[in-house]
Amino acid sequence: MRVLVVEDERRMAAALQRGLRAEGFAVDLAHDGEEGLHLASTGEYDIVVLDIMLPRLSGYNVCKRLREAENWVPVLMLSAKDGEYDMADGLDLGADDYLTKPFSYVVLVARLRALLRRGGGRRPSVLRAGDLTLDPARRLVRRAEKTVDLTPREFALLEFLMRHPDEVVSKAEILEHVWDTYDTDPNVVEVYVGYLRRKIDAPFGRGALQTVRGAGYRLASDGG
């Protein structure tokens, strides 16, 4: 398995290279964000270990640009920052895992192997259905280049549906994932679907949010 390590602290980068090679990985190094982005974009890597605080281009921006280019190579971020918001920012931009320095080398290798088992499927940081977009990190929804204001519950419902494009999801599934309960009256889902339609479909002459009688709801991947 080929790993790209993007780390500007050269002693740490060299130590990671030696250790990972001892575990059987093939390892390439980059010491700034622009070089890391170039290698990750042009090389065939199974995983990228990416520091956040890099010269020329931050790890956040490297990850963001990879995902914008639909490069889904698994990314594990490393950072001296230990704030929960820093971790959330990295994951929202498309990273797959996050380790804070100093870290256990044994844990690093275990997490890399876990990511490799998981693979590199699509994990876009911005969800799209035609001209309808939802950015979880910025809490922003746009339709036809116009911002759509949603309540937190409406946003959560739309995000769940957009993460399952063209799939029929039942009221029970929606209650579990959006309301985190089965005890709520299922009719509340119908109410909120109506709210969403009046905001993301009706003003734009679209029909993305569809009712499948007796089964649930489906959001069309083409945006309706």
Domain residue limits, the chain: 2-118, 127-219
* Cross-strand pairs, 99: 78
> Which superfamily does 2-118 belong to?
Response regulator (3.40.50.2300)
Tokens of 112: 């890399």
The pLDDT assigned to 115 comes to 84
* Cross-strand pairs, 97: 76
Highest mean pLDDT among 97-106, 107-116, 173-182, 189-198: 189-198
Q: What's the CATH architecture for 127-219?
A: Orthogonal Bundle (1.10)
- In this prediction, residues 66-74 reach a mean pLDDT of 88
Residue 121 pLDDT level (bands cut at 50, 70, 90): low
**Taking the complete model, does pTM exceed 0.75, yes or no?**
no
- In this prediction, residues 20-25 reach a mean pLDDT of 84
- In this prediction, residues 39-53 reach a mean pLDDT of 91
Q: How much is the mean pLDDT over the chain?
A: 86
Is pLDDT at 195 greater than 90 in this prediction?
yes
- In this prediction, residues 168-189 reach a mean pLDDT of 79
Residue 74 · residue 115 · CB < 8 Å: yes
Residue 182 pLDDT level (bands cut at 50, 70, 90): low
Q: Where are the alpha helices (DSSP H) in the chain?
A: 10-22, 33-42, 59-68, 84-92, 105-118, 152-162, 171-174, 187-196
What are the CA-CA distances from residue 161 to residues 77, 125, 177, 189 (Å)? 28, 15, 10, 12
- In this prediction, residues 128-148 reach a mean pLDDT of 88
The pLDDT assigned to 21 comes to 86
